[in-house]
Structure 1
Amino acid sequence: MSVTPTNPPRRSANPAEIGGLLILALAAAGLLVFALIADGVHEGETRGFDETVLLLFRQAGNPALPIGPIWLEIAVRDFTSLGSTTGLATLTLLTAGYLAVDGKRAAALFVLIATSSGMLLSFALKIGFNRPRPDIVDRLVDVHTLSFPSGHAMGAAVTYLTLGVLIVRTESKRCIKVYVLGVALGLTLLIGLSRIYLGVHWPTDVLAGWCAGSAWALLCWLVASWLQRRGQIEPADSN
């Protein structure tokens, strides 16, 4: 008597695996765009784009004056300070302290490692590319470092987005997750734009910083998810 072979049951797709693959794909896309921008900058192909966009933020015929009223310039200076090394380090320490006090010590340690290593990567990229600051408009704030990628844009993405996704991983309420990620994205965009407005970065510096920092934050999300499944980072609150 012949026995008809039965097909093994198909393994259903795991939503966590699908989400992980999507995040990995987005991180890879961010790194690819960063590489394309870096190559264009190295070859001098982005000069025209950079100059055109940078001059859009200055009054016609007078590159020393930014567009808008004086209060806008003051507000932009305040926003750009949110992406400074001191500001980001302070926020990171405060967030890690909150997580530690809340009993999430492993998450607190991960916050410190993820953000500090991302900032070190930003400094290393600056040294590697060695791009000078813009020279076609007056700079509205003093700067003394190299230009590519924007440390403020990348640092904001590394810090705000990494902190955002890690807080999301330790929270169960959807409204909190949406709020935290929305704030993180908004601050990252505003800080990057402020650097162009102030004339201290080429637009491609900021775009590259956003791409690299976002990719870093997404990779941190994947690592945090993996550690959480292994029980090495505290799970979300159940209440």
Structure 2
Amino acid sequence: MNLENRFLLAALKTSAAQRRELLPLAAILIAAGLAGSFLALASEVLEGETLGFDKAILLALRDPTDPANPIGPLWLEIMMKDLTALGSITNLALITAAVAGYLLVSGKRAAALLVLASVGGGTLLSNLFKHVFARPRPDFIAHAVDVYTASFPSSHAMLSAVTYLTLGALLARVEANRRSKVYVVSVAILLTVLVGCSRLYLGVHYPTDVLAGWVVGSAWAIFCWTLAAWLQRRGQIEGQRGPAES
């Protein structure tokens, strides 16, 4: 190898190392920005500044002649009820347990523990926010499904973000194939968006409830991604599968 090629190879290695150093910092800054956005939105909600916007969006999704019914055919309402079930505590717990079990049988015990801690911590955070803000549910339209807890933030939206984004990111970190990584994360984002939108359509949350759930849930997921990457570099969590293991 001539001198020029050696310099080029060294430069590429240095550039890759710098990117690895900057990525955790960028992720932390993004998570902090999302957390700040959540606090700003929460302040606006508590002051009643968002109520006009919230009501306008919810009424736009209802039949003008009968606000008790959402717009669209009956099959759409049934589909939305099925989608919203993907964000229920029961289903999210089953999915989390299934993924943790997969990691355990694959010999990735540390990754399985991190999955359980990430989703469990996000669930505790969601319950704390519900208790602190105690926002009543929308009371000017009928609810298409039964609800029993406070409205802000949407626990379905938040826990979907916490669970699906965290699981998607952690699974992507233990996959070597780039297309597999993109697919897993894309599906996680799609599921998170669909669950949140279903809550609006069914009239059980204000738009700002769902937005707040997405924001704070994403912040928590990014924090967990960053922790997973840091632990992986330290060798305390299992890394990607090599070609021989695929």
TM-score scaled by structure 1?
0.94
Task: Give the Cα–Cα distance (whole angstroms) in 2 for the partners of residues 152 and 137 of structure 1.
Answer: 19
**Unmatched tracts of structure 1, length 5 or more:** 1-10
Q: Aligned partner of 2:149: which letter?
A: T
Secondary structure of the 1:159 match is helix
- In structure 2, runs of 5+ residues without a counterpart are 1-13
Q: Which residue does the alignment assign to 1:172?
A: 176
Q: CA deviation at 1:59?
A: 1.1
* 3-state SS of 1:64 partner: strand
Report whether the alignment pairs 1:229 with 2:233.
yes
Which of 130, 136, 144 is the equivalent residue of 1:132?
136
Q: Residue type matched to 1:58 in 2? A: R
- What are the within-5 Å matches in structure 2 for residues 107-118 of structure 1? 107-118=111-122
Does residue 103 of structure 2 align to residue 99 of structure 1?
Answer: yes
- Aligned runs of 1:22-171 on 2, under 5 Å? 22-171=26-175
- 1:206 equivalent to 2:210? Answer yes
2:146 is paired with a residue of what secondary structure? Answer: coil
Q: Deviations over 1:147-174 (max 9, x none)?
A: 1000000000000000011011111100
Separation (CA, whole Å) in 2 of partners of 1:206 and 1:215: 14
Q: For residue 61 of structure 1, report the CA deviation from its aligned partner.
A: 3.2
Deviation at 1:125, TM superposition (A): 0.3
Q: Which amino acid aligns with 2:232?
A: Q
Q: Which residue of 2 aligns with 1:7?
A: none
The alignment partner of 1:14 has SS state of: helix
What is the deviation of 1:26?
Answer: 1.5
Equivalent-residue separation in structure 2 for 1:231 and 1:16 (angstroms): 15
Q: What amino acid sits opposite 1:26 in the alignment? A: I
175, 182, 186: which one aligns with 1:182: 186
1:217 alignment partner in structure 2: 221
What are the Cα deviations for residues 3-58 of structure 1, in whole angstroms up to 9, with x where unaligned?
xxxxxxxx866111222122112211211111111000010000001000111110
Tell me, in whole angstroms, the C-alpha distance in 1 between the residues paired with 2:223 and 2:65: 44
Q: Stretches of 4+ moved more than 6 A in 1?
A: none
Superimposed CA distance per residue, residues 107-166 of structure 1 (whole angstroms, 9 cap, x where no aligned partner):
001100110110110011000001000011100000011110000000000000000110
- Matched residue type, 2:224: C
Q: Kindly provide the amino acid, as one letter, of the partner of residue 25 in structure 2.
A: L
In structure 1, give the amino acid aligned to 2:186: G
SS across alignment from 1:114:
helix
Mapped to 2, the partners of 1:18 and 1:194 lie a distance apart of 37
Whole-angstrom CA distance in 1 between matches of 2:162 and 2:215: 10
Question: How far apart in 1 are the matches of 2:83 and 2:125?
Answer: 23
Equivalent residues, number:
230
- RMSD of aligned alpha carbons: 1.2
Cα distance in structure 2, aligned partners of 1:222 and 1:16: 11
Paired with 1:26 and 1:67, the residues of 2 have a C-alpha distance of 36
AA matched with 1:114? S
